[in-house]
Structure 1
């Protein structure tokens, strides 16, 4: 078992702090045989969310310019991904609402400027051309880490005519209980704790 630090995480926080963050979160990265390395393309990587608003409309927003690294081999049916989610990229289309969500009542971005996702296990179909079906991992948000399971709605690779490189990526969904990460505002007033997440990633082969 070999512990690795991705270059993006080192660049974002510096190696000593990044090592402490990953170790504290229990999300060490193991090497994957035969897997190619892909760097996340920030222009095609985001996490969007949707939450019911007291049984009426649905509040939506997203975080953008994600960075990180993907290790992937469909032949060996192996995968691994680490994502850095910059919380200050939060956008809902409503500036006043953005300010509220960035406050210590919700995401508290001054204290926790980034969130992280690190996969622990990938699942593939049994077809002759195996497809990614599910990814288990750990989400670190507001300094707390809890397991989540992502369902792959699609995942594919192609040769990018722009990047002149092989690109792999797809769309994933999950539903989380926000109170597990210490975001419980308005739950006592009837606002749901369930939040739907939609994750989009693309990564270019190195």
Structure 2
């Protein structure tokens, strides 16, 4: 009888699917960047980026849950022109002397199938926090071919009105709508 009970317990244990635990991934600062773009008097779409970003992602593929926490060093703004970098860091725009970072913290990750499709959260920029939704355009989870560790990668974007973050000087001539793109590669902690 004991043998039959033991066999039954083992059979039941084998039948219960294994659940993956949430895994934490740390942003690879050499492959994680935030970019922003806006209309410059209608002549062009200006493209700039922040060179220093950090953060972490918690991802549970089985439960289809996750969280994202990203910090952007706004003093690392790179427009391609030093004088303009200083201008963007001034009080009328990023005011990096007072607000040296921007921060995004998710409140909900929405999955389509096995992949995140949208990430709802709060963006804090220049001391103002507003809800935003990042649209995920690509996502991949796999072992990193060079580091031999589990990794994830994603591209996502949102559009904000800079005037809502007290950075609206010259709007509407210089576009009030700013697209923020995030490219993220993160390695399992």
- Measured against the shorter chain, the TM-score band is 0.7 to 0.9
- In the alignment, is residue 56 of structure 1 matched against residue 43 of structure 2? yes
In structure 1, what is the Cα distance between the partners aligned to 2:161 and 2:146?
Answer: 39
Instruction: Quote how far apart the aligned CAs of 1:191 are.
Output: 2.4
Gaps of 5+ in 1: 1-32
Q: Which residue among 100, 106, 110 is the counterpart of 1:123?
A: 110
Instruction: Quote how far apart the aligned CAs of 1:162 are.
Output: 2.5
Secondary structure at the aligned position of 1:43 is classed as: coil
Secondary structure at the aligned position of 2:48 is classed as: strand
- In the alignment, is residue 78 of structure 1 matched against residue 65 of structure 2? yes
What's the counterpart of residue 173 of structure 1?
Answer: 157
Question: Number of residue pairs matched?
Answer: 170
TM-score (norm 2): 0.86
In structure 1, what is the Cα distance between the partners aligned to 2:51 and 2:32?
Answer: 7
Within-5 A mapping of 1:52-201: 52-125=39-112, 127=113, 130-187=114-171, 190-201=173-184
Secondary structure at the aligned position of 1:187 is classed as: coil
Q: In proportion to residue count, which structure has more strand? A: 2
Instruction: Quote how far apart the aligned CAs of 1:118 are.
Output: 0.2
In structure 2, what is the Cα distance between the partners aligned to 1:71 and 1:199?
Answer: 17
Instruction: Quote how far apart the aligned CAs of 1:169 are.
Output: 1.7
Instruction: Quote how far apart the aligned CAs of 1:83 are.
Output: 0.8
Gaps of 5+ in 2: 1-19
In structure 2, what is the Cα distance between the partners aligned to 1:169 and 1:111?
Answer: 32
In structure 2, what is the Cα distance between the partners aligned to 1:101 and 1:205?
Answer: 34
4+ long deviations beyond 3 Å: none
In structure 1, what is the Cα distance between the partners aligned to 2:157 and 2:178?
Answer: 11
Instruction: Quote how far apart the aligned CAs of 1:58 are.
Output: 1.4
1:7-30 superposed Cα distances (whole Å, 9 cap, x missing partner) = xxxxxxxxxxxxxxxxxxxxxxxx
What's the counterpart of residue 13 of structure 2?
Answer: none
